Amino acid sequence: MIRGVRGATTIELDKPELVWEATAQLVQEIVKVNLVDIESIASVTISTTPDITSAFPAKAVRTLDGWQFVPIMCMHEMNVAGALPLCIRVLMHVNTDVAQQDVQHVYLNDAVKLRPDLVGK
């Protein structure tokens, strides 16, 4: 069965190295807390708020060991007034037998504001 695993993080400035570092940290934390085998990842969708334009976050993921064959796609979020700025979101599709309520979604930095109901679950 495929489950969606969510995560988000923020950066302080739109600089390529910050985009790549934050994205790599986020996907590695999602994999770690959910005990995901990279071979079980069907695909990853990464979105950023429109104020992130300096780099493709997927580049950071593709350079991680074992990730070069995982399908990854980047896109921008809707530009909604009052939205959390400088935010990177991940939706990872994982083949797993884990029940949906047991999936551990990961929110880092200011992104903890997005889903306080899931932080530390």
- Active-site annotation holds for 3: no
- Active-site annotation holds for 6: yes
Alpha-carbon distance of 48 to 37, in angstroms, equals 25
21, 29, 62, 87: which is the annotated catalytic residue? 62
- Active-site annotation holds for 62: yes
12, 21, 77, 87: which is the annotated catalytic residue? 77
- Active-site annotation holds for 107: yes
12, 21, 39, 107: which is the annotated catalytic residue? 107
17, 21, 39, 74: which is the annotated catalytic residue? 74
DSSP string across 60-75: HHHTSTT-TTS-EEEE
- Active-site annotation holds for 77: yes
CA-wise closest residue to 4 among 73, 74, 92: 92
Alpha-carbon distance of 82 to 31, in angstroms, equals 30
Q: Residue 87 contacts by C-beta under 8 Å, 6 or more apart in sequence?
A: 8, 9, 10, 48, 49, 52, 77, 110, 111, 114
- Residues that are catalytic: 6, 62, 74, 77, 89, 107, 115
